[in-house]
Chain A
Amino acid sequence: MRAAPTTTGYGAAIRDGFEYLLANHPSVFTIGQGLWSPWYVGNSMTDLDSQFGRERVIDTPVSELGCTGAALGAALCGYRPVVIHPRVDFMLLAVDQLVTQAAKWRSMFGGQVSAPITVRAIINRGGEQGAQHSQSLQSWFAHIPGLRVVMPSTPTDARDLLIASVLSDDPVLYLDDRWLYGLEEELPPIEERNLAQEGPRLTRTGQDLTLVGCSYSAHLCREAAARLSANGIECDVIDIRVLNPLDATLLIKSAKKTGRVLAVDGDWRSCGMAAEVIASIVEAVDPRVMRASPRRVTLPDAPAPTSNPLERSYYPTVDYIVQRGLALVGAQQETFE
Chain B
Amino acid sequence: MSASVIGRSTGEAASLGHLADADRYHEPISIDPQDTEALLTGLHRMILIRVVEEKIGDMVSQGVVKCPCHLAIGQEAPAVGVASYVRPGDRVFGAHRSHGHFLALGGSPHGLLAEVQGKDTGVSRGMGGSMHLIDIPNGLFGTVPIVGATIPIAVGAGIAAKMDGRGDMAVSFFGDGATEEGAFHESMNLAAVMNTPVLFVCENNFFSSHLHINLRQPDTSVCRYAEAHRIEWARADGNDLAAVRSVTKEAVESIRAGNGPRFLELVTYRWRGHVGHREDEDVGVKRKDDLTAWKLRDPISRLAVALDSIGAIDRQQLKRFWTEAHTVVEDAWATATHDGYPPAKALLSRVYSGGMAHRQ
Query: A: which residues have CB within 8 A of B?
Result: 29, 55, 58, 60-61, 63, 65-79, 81, 96-97, 100-101, 105-114, 145-146, 148, 168-170, 196-197, 199, 242, 245, 247
Interfacial chain B residues near A79, Cβ < 8 Å: 160, 163
A42 to B18, CA, bound (A): 56
Q: In chain A, what residue has the closest Cβ to B357?
A: A245
| Contact call B149/A97, Cβ cutoff below 8 A | yes
| Contact call B359/A247, Cβ cutoff below 8 A | yes
| Contact call B353/A69, Cβ cutoff below 8 A | no
Interfacial chain B residues near A66, Cβ < 8 Å: 152, 155, 183, 186-187, 189-190
Q: Is B170 close to A, CB under 8 A?
A: yes
| Contact call A106/B350, Cβ cutoff below 8 A | yes
| Contact call B128/A72, Cβ cutoff below 8 A | no
22 residue pairs from A and B, CB less than 8 Å apart: A61-B193, A67-B186, A67-B190, A70-B152, A72-B156, A73-B154, A73-B155, A73-B159, A74-B157, A75-B156, A77-B91, A77-B161, A100-B149, A108-B124, A109-B134, A110-B342, A111-B350, A145-B351, A146-B352, A170-B353, A197-B358, A245-B357
A149 to chain B, nearest CB (A): 12
A73 to B198, CA, bound (A): 12
B20 to chain A, nearest CB (A): 30
| Contact call B356/A196, Cβ cutoff below 8 A | yes
| Contact call A106/B153, Cβ cutoff below 8 A | no
9 tightest Cβ-Cβ pairs between the two chains A and B: A73-B156, A69-B152, A110-B125, A66-B186, A70-B156, A111-B350, A245-B357, A169-B353, A77-B160
Given A55-B163, A73-B93: 10 more A-B contacts, CB < 8 Å: A29-B163, A74-B157, A97-B153, A101-B149, A108-B127, A108-B132, A109-B128, A110-B346, A112-B124, A196-B354
Give the interface SS of chain A, mostly helix, strand, loop or mixed.
mixed
| Contact call A168/B156, Cβ cutoff below 8 A | no
How big is chain B's contact interface, by range? 35 or more
Q: Is B182 close to A, CB under 8 A?
A: yes
- CB neighbors of A among B117-141 (8 A): 122-128, 132, 134, 136, 141
Interfacial chain B residues near A71, Cβ < 8 Å: 156
A78 to B358, CA, bound (A): 23
* B358 interface neighbour in A73, A106, A113, A199, Cβ under 8 Å: A199
| Contact call A107/B127, Cβ cutoff below 8 A | yes
A247 to B154, CA, bound (A): 35
* B126 interface neighbour in A74, A110, A114, A242, Cβ under 8 Å: A110
A72 to B351, CA, bound (A): 17
A63 to B279, CA, bound (A): 38
A288 to B163, CA, bound (A): 60
Q: Is B1 close to A, CB under 8 A?
A: no
Interfacial chain A residues near B353, Cβ < 8 Å: 106, 114, 168-170, 196
